[in-house]
Amino acid sequence: MSSSTRLAGALPGNARSRVRLGDRIGDGVLYGLCLGAALLALLALALIVYKVIAGASPSVSRFGLGFLTHSTWEPNFGIFGAGTFIYGTAVTSLVALVLAVPLAISIALYLSMVAPRRVSAIIGPLVEMLAAIPSVILGFWGIIVLAPFLQAHLEPFLHSVLGFLPIFGSTPTTGTGLFIAGLILTIMVVPIIASLSRDLFLSVPRELQEGGAALGATRWEVIRGVVLPSSASGVAAATCLGLGRALGEAIAVTQVVGAGNAIHASLFQTGDTLASRIADQFQGATSALHIASLFYLGLILLVIELLVNVAAQWIARHFDVRRVGS
Amino acid sequence: MMNDPVGRPQDVTDLPPEAGGSFERSLPGVQEPDSSGMSASDLPDLSGPLTPSGNLRRRQLVSRLFEAAQTASALLAVAVLGLVIYSVTARAASVLSLSFLTHDPPLVSGESGGGIAPAILGTIVIVALATVIAMPIGVLSALYLTEFASPWTARAFRLVLDLLNGLPTIVVGLFVFGLLVVGHHQSGFAASVALAIIMLPLIARATQETLLLVPAGMREAADALGVSRWRTVRGVVLPAARGGILTATVLSVARAAGETAPLIFLSSIYGNTISLNPFSGALPNIPVYIFTSSEAAEANGFARAWGAAFVLLAFILFANIVSRTLSRRSALSR
């Protein structure tokens, strides 16, 4: 700004004062608008936390922290507990991560290391488009197309081969339940982790990879010995972001999870998650305490999500091997 | 340039087989002492063409197997995308026609025929209003981060935006419900506010990335000419970043158009007479239409829901392709 005043000094007096005044107002207005917009974002975040806490407070004061461990949810009797939904959220997200992380890393490695450039320029965007499919469509597809397939083929197969494991222990019934919810979440999470990981793999310095190759390493050995270790922290952060998505997904899970009210070890049984219970019951909530308890579920979800996202930021910042190295 | 950083595997086959033996463990730089020692008889016969044998052949096989698995994973993802698009298209085919886009749904959802015109219009109104709210705020806060804020402040606000971005959309819905619907009634406006909160961090972060790409030389040139800050922003920075801002907006519109979770209790109760005034009451919209039809489990409703899903999916994929072309073009011009 000092440069502008200096130049204005060369102008005739009349123009000079006009320029300076107009510009000073313009600069001030722009600064005010920009700061206001940024503060509005901050305000939105703070208000969200406040409103969710306020909405949950009747239920919080009624049930306290015991809400987290009790698994009875009986709107008609005014008894509410989040145990079933915390369990369901954890299980479906775990299924999603167990399936999605290896798949997504493989896809990212294919796109960054294996595929010819032209091929990855086509397949990369296609994988990202998977993330663009709205969850309501994916959930609808899950009920109509995927569930009958699981019921008829995959679940009986898993039950007959791995039935000794409790998670595959019950005979498949309708195809809806925790297992399909985990699969749908996998489809949502894979493109997120894959596209972030691909960018990380592409940013691994070429010298390191070529050094490995010069030592006689095969492509896989370079990946395992150089590429993966030097981007591990970033992949972990990407996984956290994917986890955040899986934990918070409401609609698609509501459609396929079966709205169960009890904890089952078997993935083929129905269950429910925090987000999907809110989506399922909020509109038809019967009492003020019911609504407050749904807000309480939202509060639990909010706290978990904030923690997961902060963890992702923290991992990315503190364990960045490359940044520490350079 | 980046896709074949390791070189062709054939290059490696030119090494004598012994070179591969202890390679993996020696990568970190610790040389494994070779206890076997080397004698002249161990050296390969250099007279013939070199072919991998033993350990090296095994290692190459492992490498190929992993490459095959990676290729298969990528193909699986593309196959799932194809399967979803195919399912939606095939099941929507029976209802799709021009009248499907321009007619009201039948009064009784069990009847066949009818269209989803109100839902399409409602979604357009809700998303347009959300964009009008989110875009200026998003671009201005990105400007604050890049043009005004100190590094520490910028980092703090970036964290705020990232946290906002990581919020479950259903929680955003709860918030707007508590803010605008409790004590009043559902409205298209409430839905727009929720979608705007979801779009804001997307637009702000992407715009910020673009603004950071505007060459410092352009700002400095404007400074050197004595141009004030706001004129620099208006005349230099924003025009240079226009492509990126447009791309971000199109992408976030595509994201918002399919967002369902907040809408199911912000804009889901509407009668048969529909006004398109977002402030007067709830507006019908495509995501809620698909959701309620899918829960209702009723054949003719299903058919219309597939049709609605097709319309929504087509718009979103189209918007994605458009934004991709836009960003490629602006990257080229830079």
CB contact under 8 A, B2 and A275: no
pLDDT number for residue B280: 78
Q: Is residue B94 part of a domain?
A: no
DSSP codes, A54-119: HHHHHHHHHHGGGGGT----BGGGTB---HHHHHHHHHHHHHHHHHHHHHHHHHHHIIIIIS-HHH
- Indicate yes or no: pTM above 0.90: no
For the ranges B41-45, B137-141, B225-229, the one whose mean pLDDT is highest: B137-141
Which B-chain residues 106-135 have CB contacts (< 8 A) with chain A? none
Work out the angle between the directed axes of helices A83-109 and A274-281 (0-180°, nearest 10). Answer: 120
pLDDT number for residue B125: 92
Tell me the pLDDT band of B330, cut-offs 50, 70 and 90.
Answer: low
B162, pLDDT greater than 70: yes
Tens of pLDDT, residues B217-271: 888 888 888 888 888 888 888 888 888 899 899 999 999 999 999 998 888 777 6
CB contact under 8 A, A127 and B81: yes
CATH class belonging to A69-325? mainly alpha
* Residues B183 and B327 grouped into a single domain: yes
Q: Is residue B4 part of a domain?
A: no
Determine contact: B235 vs chain A, CB below 8 A: no
Confirm if A176 and A143 have CB atoms less than 8 A apart: yes
Q: Is residue B150 part of a domain?
A: yes
Q: Is residue B2 part of a domain?
A: no
* Residues B39 and B153 grouped into a single domain: no
| Residue in B302, B297, B286, B326 with CA at minimum distance from that of residue B121 | B286
CATH number for position B222 = 1.10.3720.10
Asked which of B67, B89, B111 is the last residue of a domain, the reply is B89
CB contact under 8 A, A305 and B171: yes
Euclidean distance between CA atoms B15 and B61, whole angstroms: 16
User: How many structural domains is chain B composed of?
Assistant: 2
Question: What integer is the mean pLDDT of B133-140?
Answer: 94
Determine contact: A247 vs chain B, CB below 8 A: yes
Q: Is residue B1 part of a domain?
A: no
State which residues form the domain around B37: 9-89
Euclidean distance between CA atoms B114 and B134, whole angstroms: 34
- Cβ-Cβ contacts under 8 Å, B261 against chain A: 135, 250-251, 275, 279
* Residues B112 and B153 grouped into a single domain: yes
Tell me the pLDDT band of B313, cut-offs 50, 70 and 90.
Answer: very high
Tens digit of each residue's pLDDT, chain A (326 residues): 444 444 444 445 454 455 677 778 888 888 999 999 999 999 999 999 999 999 999 998 888 888 888 888 888 888 898 888 999 999 999 999 999 999 999 999 999 999 999 999 999 999 999 999 999 999 999 999 998 888 888 888 888 888 777 778 777 677 788 999 999 999 999 999 999 999 999 999 888 888 988 988 888 999 998 999 889 889 999 999 999 999 999 999 988 888 778 788 788 888 889 999 999 888 888 788 999 999 999 999 999 999 999 999 888 887 665 544 43
Question: How high is the ipTM of this complex?
Answer: 0.86
pLDDT number for residue B171: 94
Q: Which amino acid is at A223?
A: I
Asked which of B89, B121, B146 is the last residue of a domain, the reply is B89
* Residues B123 and B174 grouped into a single domain: yes
